[in-house]
Amino acid sequence: MKRTNVVRILPDKQQERVLEIIGDRSASLYNAVTYRCRQAFFKGEPVPSYEALCSEFKEHPAYKALPAHIGQEVIKKARKAWYSYFACLRLYRKGDMSRPPRVPRYWKDRRTGKRIFRVIPIKAPTSYSLDARCLSLTLPRDLRKRQGDRLVLRTKGVLRFHGRPKTLELKYDPVKKRWYAHQVVEVPEPKRPARPEKYAACDLGARVLAALAVEGLDRQLLFSAREVIKDFLYWTNQIAEEQSRLNRAGRETSRKLRRLYQLRARRLRHAFVALAAEIARVLKRHRVTTLFLEDLTGIREDMDFGPKNWLVHNFWAFRMLRNLIEAVSTRAGIKVVPVEPRGTSSRCAVCGHPVRRPVRHKAVCEECGRVWHADANAALNILLQGSLKEHGAEATPQRPRVLRWNRHRWESRRKPAAGTLKAASGSRMAA
């Protein structure tokens, strides 16, 4: 399987100028290839293949201005954009997409008309070397007199994955004004330990991000989204204030606005990454071998919650959370099995009869008289459905354990406050 190492590049002023030159040349070649494909498409001719484009642009000035491994990868990236366009077009014609896809565009600022460089792709590990301290690249011929044969850049970060290196991309973040290196690494599949089968189930939601039920564990774990939603709303209000200021000035966007959007997305992803890591720790601690994960594909279609519509359609990034949980579980050697969630919230996990929902977070079974937390009940139903067990086999009516986000980690709601701990330690010292 493939994983990605991301490290920050720390170039000096002269090295940064060299990177800008290579990036501008890459954008020039990309735009030339895109122009050739667009003209063929608008004339009703077949879009040239990658091999045909490489042969056609072999003598192009923009291709000659770059090392061969970078030029070939730029052409491949431009052709992949057309592969994606035609794939989306087929989905649209089948009725799987509501809007028609757009034809691939150029790498340029539509307001100023100037080229913008987005990425410098590098084809093979023979053209670069990356370790924990530096990144070494092959330079174009006309730039070798200044920097030597190779460009050596300092890096900052941790290489989390080790294996067979594949392609590498240098990306420039115009909001932070920083360079990053994204290295694709092919790592071996983790071996599942030989131990008895033990199951767990995870129910995903908006107000409770995840409800985890583990076989043999008498209490379920609920990851409350309250603090995450508060943080998301705070940055949403900051974005609204900046948009109002720009509107009064007659502008549409600014670097600060892009920074606020990026900051909100990164803080949300930080909470999701920590949640997935906490779930992986719990599963490894209880020696779980299989995780049944709720498949929510298409759940937001035709959903309308009125004033709370933003909660489901803006905040609830369930696909990102599902992918993170699946990635960390696979890395830990735990098999992930998607489960159809239909009916898991509408029946009791003890007796299997329909439940009543007097409020959204409660499920009341009038047959056996049990009062459940709705998400804990759904997680247990997913566990029973995936493990093919009968109702009541693993269901317990105990109160679930709630974990909340403190902007650094997920901790139990019943954990004593810091002031209480300090007061207690001070009283012991005084005694």
Q: Are residues 312 and 364 in the same domain?
A: yes
d(CA 372, CA 146) in angstroms, rounded, equals: 70
Percent of the chain with pLDDT over 90: 52
Asked if the model's pLDDT at residue 302 lies above 70, the reply is no
- Residue 429 resides in a domain: no
Q: Are residues 330 and 386 in the same domain?
A: yes
Asked if the model's pLDDT at residue 170 lies above 60, the reply is yes
Choice between 10 and 375, residue whose per-residue pLDDT is larger: 10
How would you label 373-388 residue by residue, b for 16+ Cβ within 10 Å and e otherwise?
A: bbbbbbbbbbbbbbbe
Q: Are residues 214 and 144 in the same domain?
A: no
Q: Are residues 149 and 232 in the same domain?
A: no
Q: Are residues 364 and 240 in the same domain?
A: yes
Q: What is the pLDDT of residue 106?
A: 93
Using the 3D structure, point to which of 164, 186, 208 is the last residue of a domain: 186
Half-sphere exposure (Cβ direction) of 69: Cα atoms closer than 13 Å: 16
- Residue 423 resides in a domain: no
Q: Which of 70, 85, 86, 1 minimizes the C-alpha distance to 30?
A: 70
Contact 372, 323 (CB under 8 A): no
Prediction pTM value:
0.80
- Residue 417 resides in a domain: no
Contact 260, 238 (CB under 8 A): yes
- Residue 420 resides in a domain: no
- Residue 262 resides in a domain: yes
List, in sequence order, every residue forming a beta bridge with 385; answer none if it has no partner: none
Q: Are residues 177 and 221 in the same domain?
A: no
Q: Are residues 150 and 221 in the same domain?
A: no
d(CA 430, CA 36) in angstroms, rounded, equals: 81
Q: What is the pLDDT of residue 425?
A: 42
Sequence-separated (6 or more) residues with CB below 8 Å from residue 240: none
Choice between 318 and 34, residue whose per-residue pLDDT is larger: 34
Q: Are residues 97 and 221 in the same domain?
A: no
Q: What is the pLDDT of residue 386?
A: 78
Q: How many residues does the chain have?
A: 431
d(CA 60, CA 68) in angstroms, rounded, equals: 12
For range 136-164, the mean pLDDT: 86
Q: Are residues 316 and 374 in the same domain?
A: yes
Contact 106, 31 (CB under 8 A): yes
Percent of the chain with pLDDT over 70: 86
- Residue 229 resides in a domain: yes
Q: What is the pLDDT of residue 415?
A: 54
Asked if the model's pLDDT at residue 300 lies above 70, the reply is no
d(CA 113, CA 115) in angstroms, rounded, equals: 7
> pLDDT tens digits for 310-345?
677 678 888 899 999 999 998 888 999 998 877 777
Per the structure, the complete domain to which residue 249 belongs is given by 199-412
Q: Are residues 176 and 222 in the same domain?
A: no
Q: Could you tell me the pLDDT band of residue 186, with boundaries at 50, 70 and 90?
A: very high
Q: Could you tell me the pLDDT band of residue 141, with boundaries at 50, 70 and 90?
A: confident
Q: For 98-164, give the DSSP string.
A: SSPPPPP--SB-TTT--B---EEEE--GGGEEE-SSEEEEEPPGGGHHHH-SEEEEEEES-----SE
Choice between 366 and 6, residue whose per-residue pLDDT is larger: 6
Q: Are residues 124 and 178 in the same domain?
A: yes
Contact 325, 332 (CB under 8 A): no
Q: Are residues 131 and 8 in the same domain?
A: yes
For range 252-268, the mean pLDDT: 92
CA 375 to chain centre: 24
- Residue 367 resides in a domain: yes
Q: Which of 70-74, 129-133, 266-270 has the lowest mean pLDDT?
A: 129-133
Using the 3D structure, point to which of 120, 151, 186 is the last residue of a domain: 186
Using the 3D structure, point to which of 131, 157, 186 is the last residue of a domain: 186
Q: Could you tell me the pLDDT band of residue 179, with boundaries at 50, 70 and 90?
A: very high
Domain count, the chain: 2
For range 290-313, the mean pLDDT: 72
- Residue 19 resides in a domain: yes
d(CA 319, CA 341) in angstroms, rounded, equals: 15
d(CA 73, CA 122) in angstroms, rounded, equals: 6
> pLDDT tens digits for 342-401?
777 777 777 776 777 766 677 777 667 666 777 888 888 888 887 766 555 455 556 788
